[in-house]
Chains A and B, each alone.
Chain A
Amino acid sequence: MTAIKVAPSSAEALEEDRRVSALRVALRTFVANKLAVASLVILVLIVLFCFVGPFVYHTNQVSASLLLENQPPSSAHILGTSPAGRDELGRLMLGGQSTIELGLAVGLLASAFGLIWGTISGFIGGLVDSVMMRIVDALLSIPFLFFVILLASIVRPTLWLIILVISGVSWLSTARLVRGETLTLKTRDYVVAAAGFGTPRWRLIARHIMPNVLGVLVVNGTLKVADAILTFAALGYLGLSIPPPATNWGEILAGGVNNIFDGYWWQLWPAAILIVLTVLAINVLGDALRDVVESRLAQH
């Protein structure tokens, strides 16, 4: 059998054209922002450092050694050793892996859940909306670190549990944002028209509301990644993270902070610079994406 190629109807082609040009405008807005491009390059370099680095620079990150603790940088240990005698440069790579994995996972989970909660709440409205939003309000009024620490002290932390705990706090403001967007989208002519044709609710939400919230959601999700990394660092600093030999940048920093009066700079500043650089780059990227989304909205 030969496949029959169907030429796209002119309407579809037009739609396709429109999408391509919108993407091109978005891309142009983004590339024009030199700071954003630089941030993207920095993030790629950091990811390479953490995930490819260990293949180039081999270290023993499993066993601790009292003989090697707190050594200054040398040819054997380029960035010195940690309080437990592990190679600090290798530790930064390992810690970066869990930090980046957590950031991305929380960004995705929180966005997905916030999207579902927010659209349902905003679209259905009425009593359902009130109840759903009061739950969000209540959880938001518990300061997030108190909440996270409470949960972390109930369960024994693994990376996945910490991801779930931080996501469990992170989706709240996303849900609020999505709800607000849904409320305005709901009154748009094309949604009202589609509803008038008898389109079922779930289809209205899936076809018309969710895709249009996506722009704002991506910007918000990007900033969530940055927030999650900061929260993870705080947990690591407070000693509420995964037990060693697993590590993350916050835990490494905690070691440096404990030895701050001994002048062991190699335990503090490299990790500090990596955290700030990563979060800074993500924040700049998020701001740039916001400009892209806003320029797209302005075109309509």
Chain B
Amino acid sequence: MIRYILKRCGQAIITIIAVSIIVFIILHLLPGGLVRAQLGQKASPVQVHALEVQEGLLRPLPVQYLTWAWNALRGNFGYSYKLSENVSTLLAEYVPRTFFLVAISLLFAVAIAIPMGLWQGYRRNRADDHALSGTMLIMYSMPTFLLGVVLIVVLNIWLPVFPSTASNFGGSLTIDATDLALPIITLCLANVSYFSRYMRSAVIDNMLEDYVRTAKSKGARNRTILLRHVLRNSLNSTLTLLGLSLPYTVSGSLIVEALFNYPGAGLLFWNSAQTRDFPVLLGIVLVIAVMTVLGNLIVDILYGVVDPRVRVQ
């Protein structure tokens, strides 16, 4: 088990280094370079040269990469001239809100999708399964923002239950739940449609396995088979999916934040893209990618704990 964990950690570290190299390359592919992106096209050659010296852009690339990576490692992601703020200060303010949104909606999504998928797999091809599967497939085929728009129309315009923006929740994590309801429900439903589809087919596959037949022939009751054996085995594979879906969910949170004006990393990212504030964009990409790798790592380790067969591979 310890060897398995160490191996997974090693892979995660290599992946993070690879991500940082990719981000660094993008940084140097910017048209006119990072300096032009910060100072604008009208900057004089003297200004440009001064900033190039200040940022150390005249040194060899590997040296630049190591300096940049060392700074990033200590939480220094550069300075946003557009927002007159250290990128790390901005990250510390906005990223936790996205983390919160993603974590809560994933939690709800799992809590809904697992029992639902189990039920659908058990009632395979009956009317209720068809109805649920159809609904899930339609939701799965909707752009996330459209899902949010439908919720706004139903739960804000037709039935004024929830507010349509999440911008007035202050900025701390002490929250008025109704403000956050629509963003959370949107992101949660997007994931429910994804997880339950998978859970359903995992349950169906498992029901055909020999161990279910053995349990049946031993006279175990349906409920015992379903909850004791099938659920456990289907959960394992759904857990991996949870890890793989992290980037997808974080992308969804960007859309949700833009739609509901929720001040998280996604909204900051979108605004920065429009002003071409590259230090902020790259800082967010790096931090979110690292968080995703770590999230996957945790899921992988949990998976190894639950299912010993995984460790051997």
Contact = CB atoms under 8 A, between A and B. Distances in A.
Interface of A: 134-135, 137-147, 149-150, 152-155, 226, 230, 233-234, 237-240, 250, 253, 257, 260-261, 268, 272, 275-276, 279-280, 283-284
- Shortest 8 CB-CB contacts between residues of A and residues of B: A138-B18, A145-B251, A279-B141, A280-B141, A143-B250, A153-B273, A143-B247, A143-B251
Nearest to B22: A138
A146 B288 contact: yes
B143 A134 contact: no
A275 B146 contact: yes
B255 A234 contact: yes
A280 B138 contact: yes
Interface stretch (B24-32, B56-64, B215-223): B24-32
Contacts of A268: 149
B48 interface: no
The SS class assigned to the A binding surface is helix
Contact of A260 (B149, B269, B282): B149
B191 to A, nearest CB: 14
Interface in B262-293: 269-270, 273-274, 276, 281-282, 284-285, 288-289, 292-293
Contacts, number: 125
Interface residues of B, number: 48
B296 interface: yes
B248 interface: yes
Contacts of B281: 149-150, 153
B137 interface: yes
Given A154-B29, A275-B143, A276-B138, A238 B251 contact: no
Contacts of B276: 153
Contacts of B21: 138
Nearest to A268: B149
Contacts of B289: 138, 141-143
A238 B143 CA distance: 12
Contact of B146 (A134, A152, A253): A253
A262 B138 CA distance: 26
A62 to B, nearest CB: 26
B149 A139 contact: no
B19 interface: yes
